[in-house]
Amino acid sequence: MIKKIGCVEVPVSDMDKAVAFYENIVGLKKMYEHPVWTAFDVGGTRFALAASGTKKSIESAKLCTSCSFCVLRYVAGKMKPDREKPTATAIIYLEVADLDEVYEALKEKGTKFVTEPREQGWGGRTAVMLDPDNNILVLSEA
């Protein structure tokens, strides 16, 4: 069902400072950079930094409102604690071969989804689900 971890994402409050740390001090190889999302290659797995409302980066979160994950983090960081809302500060992307098939199988098992499978601006498709602690897991089909 799940092929591999496609990406582990960590929220940051200052993208420039975080990128400089991971690139220049830790020595990670940058794959992609955007004002609100930067990815590095760590042994074939993407490690991403995301400007996030959960880290009080409100302006950065407002820059990217087309991506459901940015919106989820922004909303989660601005809401009062609620068992029904995502509470994660990190996001794990799980790559799948057939998003619709995996979505249906997990839904039948009672998995709580925040979004149904949908097309993303970067060309892939995703569905967002929550684990029992309301951590955000993203099923991704490229």
The pLDDT tens digits of the residues spanning 13-35 come to 778 888 998 899 878 899 998 87
Q: Is the pTM of this model over 0.95?
A: no
Number of H helices, E strands in the chain: 4, 9
Share of the chain above pLDDT 90, in %: 21
pLDDT on residue 107? 92
pLDDT beneath 50: ranges in the chain: 55, 57, 60-61, 63, 65-66, 74-75, 77-83
In Å, what is the CA distance from 2 to each residue of 72, 95, 98? 23, 6, 10
| DSSP letter for each residue of 46-101 | EEEEEE-GGGT-HHHHHH--SSHHHHHHHHHHHSPP-TTS---SSEEEEEES-HHH
pLDDT on residue 117? 95
pLDDT on residue 12? 78
CATH number of domain containing 104: 3.10.180.10
Q: How many domains does the chain have?
A: 1
- The residue range of the domain holding 24 is 2-141
Q: Is 44 left (phi over 0), alpha (psi -120 to 50) or beta?
A: left
